[in-house]
A = this chain, B = another copy of it.
Amino acid sequence: MARTAGSDGGKTQAAIRDAAISLIARFGYEAVSMRQLAAEVGVQAAALYRYFPTKEDLLYDLMTAHMQALLASWQEARPSTAEPAPRLAAFVRNHIRFHVERRHSTHVNNMELRSLSRDRLTAILRLRASYEKELRQILRDGAEQGAFTVEDVTLTAMAIIQMVTGVIVWFRPDERLSVAEVTDTYHKMTMRLVGAREN
């Protein structure tokens, strides 16, 4: 057999991306075979190679798209004010919202870095660093203006990132807490963590 009725390259490529994110998030990159992925999409394994030259190319594509979407969402959400407190609040709230909405691809980006080649790992880490730099700048401004108490900007930034990204490890929608409640509590904890003045 050959080309099937109604087949469309664009739709197939999108379906591959979706299936790959969900399968890799659940079972891990190494544990997911190209045949298993193809079966989920509803094609033969060979068809995948029309869209992604290798398995690693597919992984890199997914991770790059995730990081670029994260950076874009922060550019969209960042406030214009120079005041540290509302900027930190916006960062935490946007971060949690984005990561809860994209649990699966966040999982892929956090767990599968070691399956990338050196160059591609470097590229992803560069994108990640530029995102974390935004948080460090907020903390540095807050410390300099006396609005925050921060012992070490880099360390505090990592602590906050780990804390808020960790939401996706345990949070499941439709449970005890809503996204809004979780975000509110994390916002309060973050503000206390940096010793923000009450106002």
Contacts and interface: CB of A to CB of B under 8 A. Distances in A.
* Interface of A (DSSP majority class): helix
Contacts of A30: 28, 30-31
Contacts of A177: 152, 155
B156 A166 contact: no
Interface stretch (A36-44, A70-78, A180-188): A180-188
Contacts of A50: none
B152 A162 contact: no
A40 to B, nearest CB: 17
A159 B28 contact: no
B26 A114 contact: yes
Given A28-B28, A115-B31, A192-B149, A155 B169 contact: no
A193 interface: yes
A53 to B, nearest CB: 21
Interface size for chain A: under 10, 10 to 19, 20 to 34, or 35 or more residues? 20 to 34
Contacts of A188: 151
A110 to B, nearest CB: 9
A8 to B, nearest CB: 33
Contacts of A170: 158
A115 B159 CA distance: 28
A14 interface: no
Interface string A30-65: 110000000000000000000000000000000000
7 contacts: A27-B114, A28-B28, A28-B30, A28-B114, A28-B115, A155-B177, A163-B166
